[in-house]
Amino acid sequence: MSALPEPLQRFARRVRALVVVPTRRLAVVAALLAPLWLLSTLPGARWLPVAALVALAIVVVLDIAFLPAVRDVAVERMLEPTVGVGDETELRYRVTSGWGRPLDVSLHEALPASHLTGGVDSGERRLPPRGTLELVGTVTGKARGEAALGDVALRVRNRLGLVTRTLRYQRDDAVLVAPSLAGVRRFRWLAVHQRLAAVGVRNTPRRGEGRTFANLRDYVVGDDPRHIDWKASARRGHPITREYTIEQSQTVYLLVDAGRSMTQLAGEFSRFEYALSSALVLADVASTAGDRVGAMVFDDQVRVLVPAQRGRAALQALRTALVPVQPTLVEPDYAAAFRTLAVRQRKRALLVMLTDVIDARAARALLAHLTRGASQHLALVVALRNEALLGAARPTEGAGVRALYTSAAAEELIAERATALQRMRDAGVVVLDVAPDAMAAAVVNQYLELKTRGAL
């Protein structure tokens, strides 16, 4: 069609708008009238089938004449501009009739199957004369990226229902399928206790290594003797201690592994999708708590680098940057990632590494870089547990020889992984060993614990 000259394209659209399709009802009526042709051999009855055919043709023409054109019916599509991967979002159509007769309509859509699943029911519904009909369905994000939502077609017929006409509506709207934010609202309340002082609630005392001076008070048993202010104690005649507050605004850097192991499926989605969703949830909670949040996604090279920033802009910048990135079948280069981080983040920060630690060599490389930066940063490694590997290590009763060999190999990998994680813990790295579907809650809880203890 696009290769035709513009006048021919307009003519083709007009012809297509006039095209009607006979329905099953018309076929049934024609079949019922067919026996009349057998009467045409009788004297004086030759006119009967011809009259019936003419009458049917007139009725069909009238039925066509009472069908609306595209300009007589409006279709409006309502969908959030951004849908999260795995998130279910409402899709709504509003069909408004400017036609003076009732219509039976069914809506058909061309949603991008590579990015969305679901849609509205294409069943037939009654559209009142000059009235409005709302069609509601749901769509679920399938794969990240931006995609056109496609055109909409409305199949309409009158009460007679002998023919139908398809009204086509060209649409240029699009949807952005981004990493899921489903957990953000669920976990946002966890950060509220970091801001209770702003609404006048007494802050819970925290023990930590904060060095921001708050005030002086009388010494009580259990206070750190190193905090005694000897000059103030001499002036007042009894021990006085300094009280410190923990610095509220800190930096959190999210390091997301996009290497080979993250391409494995954990249910319907890859482990990488769970990591992105958990990273966004933590970014939201940390920015709500007043921290600066940055992120890096890497495989054998740095794929995404979002500088640390504060406020709601951090979450939006992070989500926008993560939309196009995909995991690859290469080994992650931890050295390149930490070299880049050393240049971009010189001040102390909480490094949250979302990865899959299963290969002993890769685990040693990661541990070397983490321990090298332990004096400057606080490291939190979130190791995604492989549920399929755990299942393979527990063969069912009566399993064959092959299943036993598979179980032995799986147990060896699990043991290597446990050893690698323990070495990280021994080196002072905070480690979370968690299943992908429970990762968001575990990461947020660990962050809040570190924040409360003033570990950073």
Mean pLDDT over residues 191-206, rounded? 43
Is residue 341 located within the same domain as residue 397? yes
- Is residue 365 within 8 A of residue 335, CB to CB? The reply is yes
347-374 residue pLDDT tens: 889 999 999 876 667 777 788 887 776 5
Contact assessment for residue 212 and residue 205, using Cβ atoms and an 8 Å cutoff: no
pLDDT band at 404 (very low <50, low <70, confident <90, very high): confident
What does residue 424 show for φ and ψ, rounded to 5 degrees? Answer: -65, -45
> Looking at the structure, do residues 268 and 290 belong to the same domain, yes or no?
yes
Average pLDDT over residues 9-20: 59
pLDDT of residue 230: 87
CA geometry: angle at 143 spanning 139 and 149, to 5°?
A: 50
Distance from C-alpha of 232 to C-alpha of 220, rounded to nearest angstrom: 15
d(CA 297, CA 321): 10
pLDDT of 374 reads: 58
Residue 212 included in any domain: no
Helix (H, G, I), strand (E, B) or coil at 22: strand
Q: What is the pLDDT of residues 44-89, one digit of tens each?
A: 667 787 888 888 889 888 988 899 989 999 999 999 998 988 889 9
β-bridge mates for residue 294, sequence order:
253
Residue 237 lies in a domain: yes
Q: Which helix (H) or strand (E) covers residue 351, if one does?
A: strand 350-355
Residue 266 within a domain: yes
Place 126 in a pLDDT band, splitting at 50, 70 and 90.
very high
The per-residue pLDDT for range 255-264, each reduced to its tens digit, is: 999 999 899 8
Going through 229-301 in order, the beta strands assigned E by DSSP cover 240-245, 251-257, 265-266, 269-270, 292-298
* Higher per-residue confidence, 137 vs 247: 137
CB-CB neighbours of 61 under 10 Å? 11
Is 278 within a domain? yes
Confidence tier at 375 by pLDDT (50, 70, 90) = low
Say if residue 1's pLDDT is above 70.
no
* Residue 176: strand, helix, or coil: strand
Contact present, 285 and 190 (Cβ < 8 Å): yes
Phi-psi region of 239 (alpha: psi -120 to 50; beta: other; left: phi over 0): beta
Q: Is residue 132 domain-shared with residue 11, that is, in the same domain?
A: no
- State what percent of residues in the chain have pLDDT above 90: 32
Q: What 8-state DSSP symbol labels residue 253? A: E
Q: What is the domain-level CATH number for residue 411?
A: 3.40.50.410
Strand order in the sheet with 88-97: 73-78, 88-97, 132-141, 116-119
229 and 119 in a common domain: no
- Say whether both 257 and 110 belong to one domain: no
Q: Of 352, 320, 355, nearest to 181 (Cα)?
A: 320
192, pLDDT greater than 70: no
Higher pLDDT, 261 or 185: 261
Domain's final residue, options 152, 178, 204: 178
Among 91, 183, 88, which residue's Cα sits nearest to residue 142? 88
SS3 content of the chain, % helix, strand, coil (to 5): 40, 30, 30
Question: Is 431 part of any domain?
Answer: yes
pLDDT above 70: residue 303: yes
422 and 378: one domain? yes
The CATH code of the domain that includes 105 is: 2.60.40.10
Q: Is residue 326 part of a domain?
A: yes
Query: Collapsing DSSP states into helix, strand and coil, what is residue 266?
Result: strand
Q: How confident is the model at residue 207 (pLDDT cuts 50, 70, 90)?
A: very low
For residue 12, what pLDDT is reported?
Answer: 55
Both 145 and 267 in a single domain?
no
- In the three-class reduction of DSSP (H, G, I as helix; E, B as strand; rest coil), residue 303 is classed as strand
pLDDT at 242 over 50: yes
Are 266 and 395 in the same domain?
Answer: yes
Q: Which long-range contacts (CB under 8 A, 24 or more apart) does 116-121 make?
A: 116/83, 116/140, 116/141, 116/142, 116/147, 116/175, 116/177, 117/142, 118/88, 118/91, 119/91, 120/91, 120/93
Q: Are residues 232 and 276 in the same domain?
A: no
Residue 321 forms part of a structural domain = yes
Between residues 12 and 21, the one the model is more confident about = 21
240 and 172 within one domain: no
**CA distance to 69, 146, 199, 447, per residue, from 16 (Å):** 11, 30, 64, 61
169 falls within a domain: yes
| pLDDT band of 265, cuts 50, 70, 90 | confident
pLDDT at 324 over 50: yes
Rounded average pLDDT over 184-212: 47
Q: What is the pLDDT of residue 197?
A: 42
What does pLDDT average to over the chain? Answer: 83
Cα 151 from Cα 149, distance rounded (Å): 7
Q: How many CB atoms lie within 10 A of CB 325?
A: 18
- Tell how strand 73-78 and strand 430-434 pair up: unpaired
Asked if 324 and 414 sit in the same domain, the reply is yes
Evaluated on CA atoms 347, 352, 356, 358, the torsion sign reads positive
Total domain count, the chain: 4
**Region of residue 237 (phi > 0: left; psi between -120 and 50: alpha; otherwise: beta):** left
Inter-CA distances, 34 with 42, 46, 56, Å: 15, 13, 12
The domain of 336 spans 251-453
Measured between alpha carbons, how far is 32 from 176 in angstroms, rounded to an integer? 53
Cβ–Cβ under 8 Å, residues 263 and 328: yes
**Residue with tokens 């409402």, as numbered in its chain:** 90
Identify the residue whose tokens are 């939502």.
149
Kindly state the tokens that stand for 115. Answer: 């990015």
Q: What is d(CA 312, CA 305) in angstroms, rounded to the nearest whole number?
A: 18
* Domain identity same for 224 and 315: no
For the chain, first and last CA: distance in Å?
63
Q: How confident is the model at residue 193 (pLDDT cuts 50, 70, 90)?
A: very low
Average pLDDT of the residues in 150-169: 92
Confidence band for 405, pLDDT divided at 50, 70 and 90: confident
